[in-house]
Structure 1
C-alpha cells in the first residue's frame, strides 16, 4: 500500500500526467493512477519529493468539488 508522503519517484510504474493547461509554464501538478485504485499527486518542480495519495473516493470528492467551483476562491 502506498501512503502519503512517499517519495514520488519511488512509486513503481507511475505514469505521471500534467493537465493540458499546465504544460509549459513550469508550475504543474502531476497525477498518476495507483494499482489500488487511488491517485497520487506531486509537484512537477520536485519530482522526487513527497506525493499526496488519495483513495478513489477522496479523489472523486475532490474532482466533484473542483468541477462545482468550490475551490475557486483559493485562486483569487
Structure 2
C-alpha cells in the first residue's frame, strides 16, 4: 500500500476532523465511505477487533489509527 486510506461515513464528525486535517496539511488520501462501499465494512471490523469504528485510517507503513484527533494525526504525519 502506498497511500493513506480513510474508511469512514458522511455522518461521522470525527471523519470530518480527519478530512480537515488532511486538507489543511495538503496530505493526499483515499476516502472510502463504508456506508456506500459496504464490502469494506468487514475490513474495518477486522482491524478494530470487531468494532465498526470510523474513521479508521490506514497508513502506507501498515499501521492504522481509529478515531484519531487532529493532534494525533499531526503527530503521526509529522513524525513527532
Q: Is this a same-fold pair by TM over 0.5?
A: no
By relative contact order (CA 8 Å, sep 6+), the higher-ranking structure is 2
Report the TM-score, using the length of structure 1 for normalisation.
Answer: 0.30
Which of these two proteins has the greater Rg computed from alpha carbons? 1
Higher helix share: 2
Report the TM-score, using the length of structure 2 for normalisation.
Answer: 0.29
